[in-house]
Every structure is written in C-alpha cells, then in structure tokens.
Structure 1
Amino acid sequence: MERVVKVYSTNARSLNSMKEKMDIQDTEYGSKVLFDLDGKWFVIYATVVTEEK
C-alpha cells in the first residue's frame, strides 16, 4: 500500500519522511517498516506516523 511515513527519534525529533509503497508491522519495540528501494529491501525499527493514500 502506498503510504507517507514520518520517522521520529526517541526524543520526538523528525528524522525523515518517505512516500513509498511499504508494509508496516507492529512489534513489541515499536513499528517495523519494510520498503523496497531500487530492488533492495530495507527494514526500519522506529516510532513512525503513517498516512495511507
């Protein structure tokens, strides 16, 4: 699903914003964001805010 995702540090500072097709999975440590960039899969474990398009 295409989403706009904003990634935050633990002190609530905005680190990055991405608009991509990605999957979000909840974990006990926060959210796990999986996305494909140029044929490579990336995983981010972070506090995220998502907006679904």
Structure 2
Amino acid sequence: MRLAAHVSELHPNTAEITVAVPEGVDAELLAKVLSNPEMAALLTPLAKTIK
C-alpha cells in the first residue's frame, strides 16, 4: 500500500511526499499522526536514528 501525504496544506513550500506503508499498518491513522506537528516533532529524530 502507498500513502500520498499532501503536506502542502501544512507546509505551503513543500511538495507531495509518497511513503511506502507496510502491510498491516493503518495508512489513514498514520497520516493523521504524522500531520500532527507535535507527533511529527517527536517521531522525526527517532526515525533518523533508525535509518
């Protein structure tokens, strides 16, 4: 499954981002979580350490 997040609504100077969502993950719920600035701020540093 692929999820296209239109972040231009949150950040007008950014383009569309396409993210691969693993099977079994609720894409809509993930989009809601990542669209929350506080959750994105918490998860971004964690994701960088996992890469």
Give the structure-1-normalised TM-score: 0.28
Larger Rg: 2
| Greater fraction of residues in helix | 2
| Greater fraction of residues in strand | 1
Larger relative CO (CA 8 A, sep 6+): 1 or 2? 1
Give the structure-2-normalised TM-score: 0.29
